[in-house]
Each structure stands twice: as structure tokens, then as C-alpha cells.
Amino acid sequence: MKQLTFRNGDKLDILGLGTWKSKPGEVYDAIRSAIKIGYRHFDCAFIYMNEKEIGHAFADAFAAGDVKREDVWITSKLWNNSHKKEDVLPAMKKTLSDLQLDYLDLYLVHWPHVFKKDFMGATKAEETWSTAEVPHIETWREMEAAVDAGLAKHIGVCNFNKHKLKALSEQASIIPEMNQVELHPMLHQNDLLEFCKENGVHVTAYSPLGSPDRSAGMKASDEPNLFEHPVIKELARKHNCTEAQIMIAWAMQRGTAVIPKSVNPERQLQNFLSTEINLSEDDMQLMASADTGYRYVKGQFWAFEGTEYSVDWLWNR
Ligand code: A2P
């Protein structure tokens, strides 16, 4: 398995298991089976509302001797309503307690938006703080404190465009080590990837399969299905593998970590075996033709009139 190397030499398996949309009642078995298949990288978040059950699965896997804590990489994320300095470490400790862990391998700021404490899913301007009131660096100082306290080995961000990443990095003592963003064959984000590479920031691809299991409210009526994309279908035929394996292999070939979600052991195995597929230069060029910049997770749900939080602010400013 290809790995990403962090500044202190720590290594991360490039393929991990996503847990967004993995429901309580199914995520326990999903974690246990993924560990047995060989997954050693797990992507979690407070807002996925399943960290307690994931914690049980890890505790049981460690107790059963399936794997040791130090041999798995566990990522989690700070939710938008806990960006104020007094809220960051308590939020992180809640995640650690739910996951039954002493430390996280990686802790990420989930979104650049800041919500007031009582509003997990803000719906209007009054339920948010501006980034003038709660600047990203205020949150980041506490993320750095988590590293100093040994609660997180590495810290980073998600959904940060290059302008926000640059602004934060200029003030940070620990430059973000990871940026987790949506990436798949219809959304390459080459410019952001280049910026991250130049600045020593690793990138993780979320929604690598287009997240077809998003709730109806999060889906556009005319959204494309990556599994039906002609370029992906052609490459799957050529390599005698599945469309999912092409999408995952492509992400790894670009040097990004990738976290396909599956709660189904056969599909977990299928996804894991993507590591055996090598796409040629020609295949990669063909994939380049699929890039239309299409986002499945558009961020319009947190664009509030009377705030800075617009879709344009999120992705471009
Ligand atoms: P399931 O969990 O039942 O396997 P993403 O990682 O982009 O968010 O996509 C996750 C979605 O893709 C889930 O609906 C998941 O279903 C499905 N999925 C995961 N792996 C595969 C695969 N190999 N083939 C088809 N669908 C898959």
C-alpha cells in the first residue's frame, strides 16, 4: 500500500475507510470487517453521529488482537459550532471519549464556517459568527495546543480553498498538514492540489465515488452518476475491474489519500483491491477529459444572506 509521509516521518496508508453516512447499527460491523480486510486508515467526524459505535468497534478489535492501536490511523474533525477557543479542546475530548482513544492521529477543522455553540446546523445569519469575530487562527491555536498536549499527532483542515489555507498558514505555528476536500473524476481541483504540493500539505479525497448515498435533500435533481460515466466505464472495461476501483485507483495515482465509504464487506474488499490497479499515462489523460468541475457537496446549505458565508466565499475566496 502506498503511504503519505508526514513532516515527523509518520506514515499514512493512502487508502482509508470513510464513515460519513455509515449509520449506527451498521458502522460497528463495517469497522470490524475493514480491519480484517487490512484497512489501517479510518476517517471519522463528530458530525457523522456514529463515533460512539466506531469507538466500540475499535475497542473490541484492539481487545481481540485484530490490530494494535499504534497500527491504525484514526482521523476525526472539529464541528463548526466549536470553533471558539474555549470550545475546541472540549469538542475534541468528546470525540476522544466517544472513540475510546487517548489520541487522534489527525484532527481536522471540518469547515471554514463558524456557527454559534447552540446551532449544530445553522440556518440563518444570527446563528453564525463571522470570521472577524472568531478568526480561523483562534481555532487553530487550540488545534496546535491539542498537538502540544499529545491529544492529536497531526492537525489540518477540510474544505479550505487555497486563499484560506494560505492565510491560515501565514499565521500558524504548525502549518496544516492535511486538506481534505471533495475530489473525484469530475472534480480534479488541479490548482488546489498544486498549491498544496508546493506548500507541503497532503490532500485527502472525500466523496471519491460521488457519495450516491447522500440524503435526497443534499442531492441535485440532475446530478451525474459517476458509475455511469463513459470514461470511467471505458477504463473499467479496459482494466477488467469495477468503476469504483477505477475511481479509487485514479485518486491514489494522483498522490491523494482517498476514503471511499462502504459498510458492505464485499465492496470494502473490492475497494481495497484498487491498490493493485495501475493506470497508464494515457488512462490519466483520458480521465482529465472527465473534469467538469462538478461538485456534489456544493456548500449552498450554509450560504446565509447578510453574512460572508456564500458559495463563492467557500470555494473561491
Ligand atoms: P455501501 O456503503 O452500501 O457499500 P463515497 O465514498 O463517495 O461517499 O460513496 C459511498 C457510496 O458508494 C455508498 O453508497 C456505498 O455503498 C457506495 N459504494 C462504496 N463502494 C462501492 C463499490 N465498490 N461499488 C458500488 N458502490 C460502492
The residue among 61, 54, 59 whose CA lies nearest residue 26 is: 54
Q: Is there an atom of ligand 1 within 6 Å of 209 CB?
A: yes
How confident is the model at residue 52, as a pLDDT?
Answer: 98
Q: Is there an atom of ligand 1 within 6 Å of 262 CB?
A: yes
**Ligand 1 geometric centre to CA of 150 (Å):** 34
Question: For 271-290, b where at least 16 C-beta lie within 10 A, e where not — what string?
Answer: bbbbbebebeeebeebbeeb
The stretch 70-97 carries a mean pLDDT of: 98
CA gap 313, 317 in Å, rounded = 5
Percent of the chain scored above 90 by pLDDT? 99
Q: Which of 112-116, 157-161, 162-166, 298-302 has the lowest mean pLDDT?
A: 298-302
Percent of the chain scored above 70 by pLDDT? 100
CA gap 305, 317 in Å, rounded = 17
How confident is the model at residue 155, as a pLDDT?
Answer: 98
Atom of ligand 1 at shortest range from CA of 184: 7
CA gap 68, 74 in Å, rounded = 12
How confident is the model at residue 111, as a pLDDT?
Answer: 98
Q: Is there an atom of ligand 1 within 6 Å of 264 CB?
A: yes
The stretch 175-198 carries a mean pLDDT of: 98
pLDDT in tens, 48-72: 999 999 999 999 999 999 999 999 9
| Catalytic residue flag (residue 103) | no
- pLDDT confidence of 127, banded at 50, 70, 90? very high
**Ligand 1 geometric centre to CA of 43 (Å):** 15
Does the predicted TM-score (pTM) go above 0.85? yes
Question: Which of 17, 233, 261 has most ligand 1 atoms within 8 Å of CB, for mutation?
Answer: 261
How confident is the model at residue 147, as a pLDDT?
Answer: 98
**Ligand 1 geometric centre to CA of 210 (Å):** 9
The stretch 102-122 carries a mean pLDDT of: 98
- pLDDT confidence of 185, banded at 50, 70, 90? very high
Q: Is there an atom of ligand 1 within 6 Å of 207 CB?
A: yes
Atom of ligand 1 at shortest range from CA of 213: 14
How confident is the model at residue 122, as a pLDDT?
Answer: 96
The stretch 82-93 carries a mean pLDDT of: 98
Question: Which of 15, 213, 263, 272 has most ligand 1 atoms within 8 Å of CB, for mutation?
Answer: 213
pLDDT in tens, 209-254: 999 999 999 999 999 999 999 999 999 999 999 999 999 999 999 9
Radius of gyration of the chain (CA): 19
Report the CATH fold assignment for 3-316. Answer: TIM Barrel (3.20.20)
Q: Which residues are within 8 A (CB) of 190 and not within 5 positions of it... i.e. 6 or more apart?
A: 291
- pLDDT confidence of 128, banded at 50, 70, 90? very high
The stretch 261-275 carries a mean pLDDT of: 98
The residue among 89, 34, 90 whose CA lies nearest residue 58 is: 34
Question: For 128-145, b where at least 16 C-beta lie within 10 A, e where not — what string?
Answer: bbebeebbbeebbbbbbb
Q: Which residues are within 8 A (CB) of 126 and not within 5 positions of it... i.e. 6 or more apart?
A: none
Catalytic annotation, pick one of 48, 107, 206, 296: 48
**C-alpha distance from residue 83 to each of 182, 197, 292, 309 (Å):** 22, 27, 33, 15
How confident is the model at residue 175, as a pLDDT?
Answer: 97
Question: Which of 44, 209, 263 has most ligand 1 atoms within 8 Å of CB, for mutation?
Answer: 209
Q: Is there an atom of ligand 1 within 6 Å of 74 CB?
A: no
Q: Is there an atom of ligand 1 within 6 Å of 291 CB?
A: no
